[in-house]
Structure 1
């Protein structure tokens, strides 16, 4: 004979409510977890892309972020959450860039590159990797326009991707761009042509330059950016000098728009959205 039940209907309803709330919270957490996408791009090589959440099912614009420096930001899954091990400028612009009508993704270095040098960023290998990434993004968001937003050495990648018409880029934003060639030296970890061999205005792609007037990074002078800006729109960033002893090209420097990261990100979104944007900050 089965044991009689002494459960209160009220308690049963409470339990069901608690379970429903827990399930809802779990679903929301999972829905908003950044997504790590790993693609096979070349024989024996994989390329990782981190898709930020949340985003709508049909965003009007997808922003593909290309970090500077080595480009090796160490995308990985930790406790079920995707994240970057190394800091990059865009991680400091997250709230500004991740807005309604936009989806945002950031690339890592491919598995065969610890350091994405200028030589690599201008190579056919990099073009093949980026073609696979852009193809994946376009298959995911077929009706969205694609925008490249690149920082520092990443601007070399963006320039060559745009020039090679890799799956058609709709707009480009270059932050702290490398517009001149650089020679080997103690302060130049990756010498190369920069963007000096590309006639950027001739690409006929909407393009915005973003540069700090006090950028002290030797590969990214404001004067070189000003020369290019005679034919392209530029957002000029002002502000106090970076803290004494801060790296010329790294975090905490004007090359990284120290203290102005969010403001710069918001003005980029304004430009991409066709809204009024400030050509001079602050």
Structure 2
């Protein structure tokens, strides 16, 4: 009996972790990536689109449509791009044979999201691994957008108040807090969130990463090339101080959770929203653990992940 293929639409800001996450989906025989929408985050939206084309080229999947979307947050309060993945999101690693930008679709990512949700109603899972501006705009354009989705998986936010951009805000939600607020409160679709703390708690052993990083396959060399600056600038200083740091896996968890049933070990259904007004906690995801508000649960927060599955899937990418 044949397995019904899962239909994924990935909304991304295409840094190195996004590349690994997208390749997990592209290599799975039971997954159809029906489109990839691009949003500002690790780089400007158009550069994100060019990065995605590089991923698709190495995977021989340039037939998958790539749509460039929003380059500014909902309220225009644009934050400086993080330099973690370099100025272009791919470690400023040049590619003389990169696909031409003419391969980017002319249709805007937001209208593509709305259209594809209608064309694949009840079948399409949306995976968000960047700021949520495109998705919030799709909700504004069509209030029934979320109800057409099979589900939505998000990497973003924080459920313990620990931030990686400010003391209390995670990068994707911090980049456009209003968009995150709209999505959590108005999407009208089952939402699963892999938060920053969950990712941090499930980082992978450096010994494992060394094997992964030194793969000489086409995919292995591609990923190693775009991650060189991250290793040099953000991991090596720890090692120079004699500190053994684990390898951070982030967006990979959201994509894998959407595809594989054995990734999520534990998760809690709760009501969560996003703080917009406080200068101290703007962009923080606020979770009603004790049901103080009495609001209906709107998200499932992943708290425990099967890291062995992730190690296996990532290793398969570079094998």
TM-score (norm 1): 0.41
Higher relative contact order (CA 8 A, sep 6+): 2
Larger Rg over CA atoms: 1
Structure (1/2) with the larger helix percentage: 2
